[in-house]
Amino acid sequence: MRSLDEQSIETFNREGFLVIENVLDDDQIDSARERFPKLFRGEFETGLQPDEWNWRDGRDAEALTRQICNGWKSDRTIAALVLAEWVGDMCARLRDWPGARINQDNVLWKPAGGRPLGFHQDDSYQSWIRPNEMMTCWMTLDDTRAGHGTIEYVPGSHRWPLAAPVATFHAPEDPLADMMAAAATVGASPTIVPIEVPAGSIVLHHGRIWHGSRDNHGDLPRRSVVAHCMSSEATFDERGHSPIYNRYKLAGTDRMDESFFPILWTRSGYRTAWLDSYCMQQDPN
């Protein structure tokens, strides 16, 4: 694992994202790829459904990007990636947090010919937590190329004001529309950078950077696993409400229970006690 040197931190602060190639090994990549068809067929290793299951085999259009949120609760192979200590370490250090806990994960599968995901800011969807900010570690399981549905970023846009959630997230007619409107408000002429990296690479990105993915014009899928982190000291924000994640709010307190939002890493050395044993109990089939 590459360490975060001063140059890496400077790049992240300037651009809003940091690319690190060849982080996952072949076994991790192959094991995660094997879980994708089962997950989207509803074959969940732990017996628990994910919190969001936005594409289902046999129900939804083939051209749509498949998405699951909090696959870690359903599959321990996914959990071993998104709940890794190094993920929390890097996310916390780049945001200067005391530590990091998982907010949610994404299991994303854009098939050949797959439709876009609208350009957006992750923090636009975080009104239910305090502080209202997120940090993301995107891990690709396939080689990525421009024009083939890879993730794309607008460098420096993490310094723009926070916008509202985008009008259409899944398969918008114009995936750049909301981003271009935001750019106009600050007088920016945005540059869009497609991420072209080998399988097993990661991108760490700021919660306010504008990013998304366009149509996959290639003949191969683009699969990724994404860990969205928040500060280890994050709490529920009484001013906001998530129709999905507020179901995990305990009565009479704003604190987050580690059963649902485990802590991956802290500067003090603390990590949620059950994480490592949970991730090791993977289904060999």
Number of structural domains the chain divides into: 1
Q: What is the pTM for the complete model shown?
A: 0.95
CATH code (residue 76):
2.60.120.620
pLDDT digits (tens, 9 = 90+) for 125-167: 999 999 999 999 999 999 999 999 999 999 999 999 999 999 9
Q: Which domain, by its residues, includes 95?
A: 6-280
- Has residue 109 been placed in a domain? yes
Beta bridge partners of 70: none
**Per-residue DSSP letters for 253-267?**
--PPPTTTS-EEEET
| Structure confidence at residue 284 as a pLDDT band (50, 70, 90) | low
- Bin 171: left if φ > 0, else alpha if -120 < ψ < 50, else beta: left
Q: What is the mean pLDDT of residues 6-35?
A: 97
- Has residue 83 been placed in a domain? yes
pLDDT digits (tens, 9 = 90+) for 26-43: 999 999 999 999 999 999
- Has residue 1 been placed in a domain? no
pLDDT digits (tens, 9 = 90+) for 188-216: 999 999 999 999 999 999 999 999 999 99
- Has residue 134 been placed in a domain? yes
- Has residue 39 been placed in a domain? yes
pLDDT at 13 over 70: yes
What's CA 70's distance to the chain center, in Å? 10
- Has residue 285 been placed in a domain? no
Residue 90's nearest CA partner among 280, 229, 258, 220 is 229
